[in-house]
Structure 1
Amino acid sequence: MTTTTDHSRAGHLRRGDTRPPGVGGPVRQLALRLHFYVGMLIGPFLLIAAVSGFFYALAPTIERVVYADQLTAASPAQTVPLAQQITTARTAHPELPVSRIVPGNDGSTTRVLFSDGSLPSDSHSRVVFVDPSDGVIRGDTVQYGSGQALPLRTWLSGVHRSLHLGEAGRLYSELAASWLAPLALAGLYLWWGRTRRAGASAPKSTSLRSTSLRSTLLRSAPGLTGRARRRSSHAVLGTWALVGMLVLSATGLTWSAHAGQRVADLRGAMGWTTPTLSAQSPENSPSGSSDQAAGGHDGHGSHNGALGTAAAWTPDDAGVALTGARTAGLTEPVQLIPPTGDGDLWRVQEVRRSWTPGPDAVSVDAATGGVVQTLPFSDHPLAARLTDWGIRLHMGFLFGLANQLLLAAVAAALVVVIVRGYVLWWTRRPTRTGGPARPPVRGALLELLRRRPAGTLVGVAVVAAIGWAVPLLGISLAAFLVLDAFLGLAARRARG
Structure 2
Amino acid sequence: MALPHTLRSFRHDNVLARQVEVAVAARPSATLVAVRPAPEPGATTRVLFTADSLGESERLAVFVDPGTGSVVGELVTYGSSGVLPLRTVLDQVHANLLLGEFGRGYSELAASWLWVVASGGLVLWFARRRAARPKPAVRRHAVLGLWVLVGAVFLSATGLTWSKYAGENVADLRATFGWTTPALSMTGSGDHAGHTSGTPTGLVVLVVLGYRMWWQRRPTRGFGRPVPRGQWRKVPRAQLVVVLVVAAGVGWFVPLFGLSLLGFLVVDALLARRTAKPAPEPSEQPV
Deviation at 1:190, TM superposition (A): 0.8
1:273 matched residue in structure 2:
178
Q: Does 1:116 align with 2:51?
A: yes
Q: Distance in 1 between matches of 2:168 and 2:20?
A: 38
Amino acid at match of 2:267: L
Q: Distance in 1 between matches of 2:115 and 2:29?
A: 49
Q: Distance in 2 between matches of 1:137 and 1:246?
A: 42
Q: Does 1:192 align with 2:152?
A: no
Q: State whether residues 111 and 130 of structure 1, in contact with CA within 8 Å, keep that contact through their aligned partners in structure 2.
A: yes
The DSSP-based 3-state class of the residue aligned with 1:241 is helix
Q: Distance in 1 between matches of 2:200 and 2:278?
A: 43
Deviation at 1:179, TM superposition (A): 0.9
2:254 matched residue in structure 1:
470
What whole-Å deviation, never above 9, does each CA across 1:86-142 have from its counterpart, x for those lacking one? 565467546545544433242220223333321113x32222222222345443211
Amino acid at match of 1:272: F
Q: Does 1:456 align with 2:240?
A: yes
Amino acid at match of 1:427: Q
Amino acid at match of 2:241: L
Q: State whether residues 161 and 170 of structure 2, in contact with CA within 8 Å, keep that contact through their aligned partners in structure 1.
A: yes
2:188 matched residue in structure 1:
351
TM-score in terms of structure 2 length: 0.76
Q: Distance in 1 between matches of 2:247 and 2:17?
A: 58
Q: Distance in 2 between matches of 1:85 and 1:125?
A: 18
Amino acid at match of 1:351: G
What whole-Å deviation, never above 9, does each CA across 1:348-397 have from its counterpart, x for those lacking one? 64333xxxxxx9xxxxxxxxxxxxxxxxxxxxxxxxxxxx8xx656x04x
1:6 matched residue in structure 2:
none
The aligned length equals 266
Deviation at 1:448, TM superposition (A): 1.4
2:7 matched residue in structure 1:
none
Contiguous gaps of at least 5 residues in structure 2: 1-13, 281-287
1:486 matched residue in structure 2:
270
Say if 1:256 and 1:132 are closer, same or farther in 2 by CA, change over 3 A. same
Structure 2 counterpart of 1:106, from 35, 40, 46: 40
Amino acid at match of 1:422: Y
Deviation at 1:196, TM superposition (A): 1.6
Structure 1 counterpart of 2:94, from 136, 139, 160: 160
1:324 matched residue in structure 2:
none
Q: State whether residues 294 and 349 of structure 1, in contact with CA within 8 Å, keep that contact through their aligned partners in structure 2.
A: no
Q: Does 1:443 align with 2:232?
A: no
Q: Distance in 2 between matches of 1:242 and 1:495?
A: 46
1:294 matched residue in structure 2:
182
Q: Whose RCO is larger (CA < 8 A, sep 6+)?
A: 1
The DSSP-based 3-state class of the residue aligned with 1:412 is coil
Say if 1:113 and 1:244 are closer, same or farther in 2 by CA, change over 3 A. closer
Q: Distance in 2 between matches of 1:99 and 1:149?
A: 14
Structure 1 counterpart of 2:142, from 220, 224, 235: 235
Q: Distance in 1 between matches of 2:174 and 2:80?
A: 21
Q: Distance in 2 between matches of 1:146 and 1:492?
A: 56
- Once the two structures are superposed, the pairs formed by residues 299-310 of structure 1 within 5 Å of their partners are none
1:247 matched residue in structure 2:
154
Q: State whether residues 77 and 84 of structure 2, in contact with CA within 8 Å, keep that contact through their aligned partners in structure 1.
A: yes
Q: State whether residues 111 and 127 of structure 1, in contact with CA within 8 Å, keep that contact through their aligned partners in structure 2.
A: yes
Structure 2 counterpart of 1:411, from 172, 197, 200: 200
Q: Distance in 2 between matches of 1:84 and 1:349?
A: 15
1:146 matched residue in structure 2:
80
Q: Give the superposed CA RMSD.
A: 3.3
Deviation at 1:414, TM superposition (A): 1.4
Q: State whether residues 104 and 111 of structure 1, in contact with CA within 8 Å, keep that contact through their aligned partners in structure 2.
A: yes
Q: Percent identity?
A: 43
Deviation at 1:81, TM superposition (A): 4.7
- Once the two structures are superposed, the pairs formed by residues 74-113 of structure 1 within 5 Å of their partners are 81-82=15-16, 85-86=19-20, 89=23, 93=27, 96=30, 98-107=32-41, 108-113=43-48
- Once the two structures are superposed, the pairs formed by residues 366-445 of structure 1 within 5 Å of their partners are 395-396=195-196, 411-429=200-218, 435-436=221-222, 440-445=226-231
Structure 2 counterpart of 1:262, from 152, 169, 182: 169
Deviation at 1:198, TM superposition (A): 3.3
Q: State whether residues 237 and 413 of structure 1, in contact with CA within 8 Å, keep that contact through their aligned partners in structure 2.
A: no
TM-score in terms of structure 1 length: 0.47
Deviation at 1:161, TM superposition (A): 0.4
Q: Distance in 2 between matches of 1:263 and 1:97?
A: 26
Say if 1:136 and 1:458 are closer, same or farther in 2 by CA, change over 3 A. closer
Say if 1:116 and 1:189 are closer, same or farther in 2 by CA, change over 3 A. same
